[in-house]
Amino acid sequence: MGNKMKTRKEQREEKKELKRESKRKQESVLSDLAQFMEDVHKTVDTEDEDIEQIEDFAGFVQEESTVAGRALADIIYTFTNDFEIGKLVKSGEIRKKVVGVEPEWKVPELYNMTHFDLKNFSMKLLTRSRNPKMNFIVLQLHGGGYVAKVKNSYYTMATYYCDAGKGIPVLTPDYRVAPEDPYPAALEDAVASYQWILDHGYKGEQIIVVGDSAGGGLAMALTMYLRDHDMPLPRGIVAMSPWTDVTASGESYSLNYELDPLFGNTKESMIYINDYAGEHDKKDPYISPIYGNFRKFPPMLIQVGSTEMLLSDSITAASMADIAGVEVRLSIYDDMFHVFQMAGPILPEAKRAWDEVEHFIQLLINE
Q: The CATH number of the domain where 322 resides is what?
A: 3.40.50.1820
- pLDDT higher than 80, residue 135: yes
State the average pLDDT over residues 182-208. Answer: 98
Q: What are phi and psi of 294, to 5 degrees?
A: -110, 25
| 344 located within any domain | yes
Measure the CA–CA gap between 10 and 12, rounded to whole angstroms: 5
Q: What are phi and psi of 126, to 5 degrees?
A: -95, 130
| 36 located within any domain | no
280 is catalytic: no
Percentage of residues of the chain with pLDDT beyond 70: 83
Per-residue confidence band for 227, with pLDDT thresholds at 50, 70 and 90: very high
| 332 located within any domain | yes
State the average pLDDT over residues 69-89. Answer: 78
| 2 located within any domain | no
49 is catalytic: no
Q: How many CB atoms lie within 10 A of CB 102?
A: 11
Lowest mean pLDDT among 73-82, 201-210, 248-257, 353-362: 73-82
Measure the CA–CA gap between 65 and 270, rounded to whole angstroms: 27
The total number of structural domains that make up the chain: 1
State the average pLDDT over residues 88-111. Answer: 78
Q: Containing domain of residue 254, as a range? A: 52-365
Catalytic residue among 63, 308, 349, 356: 308
338 is catalytic: yes
Q: What is the pLDDT of residues 32-68, one digit of tens each?
A: 655 655 655 444 444 444 445 777 888 888 888 899 9
| 239 located within any domain | yes
Q: What is the pLDDT of residues 149-160, one digit of tens each?
A: 999 999 999 999
Q: Please, what sign has the CA dihedral across residues 212, 218, 223, 224?
A: positive
| 19 located within any domain | no
Catalytic residue among 91, 213, 288, 319: 213
Measure the CA–CA gap between 24 and 220, rounded to whole angstroms: 30
Percentage of residues of the chain with pLDDT beyond 90: 65
- pLDDT higher than 80, residue 93: no
State the average pLDDT over residues 280-302. Answer: 97
State the average pLDDT over residues 234-261. Answer: 93
Catalytic residue among 241, 338, 349, 356: 338
- Closest by CA to 218, choosing from 269, 150, 264, is 150
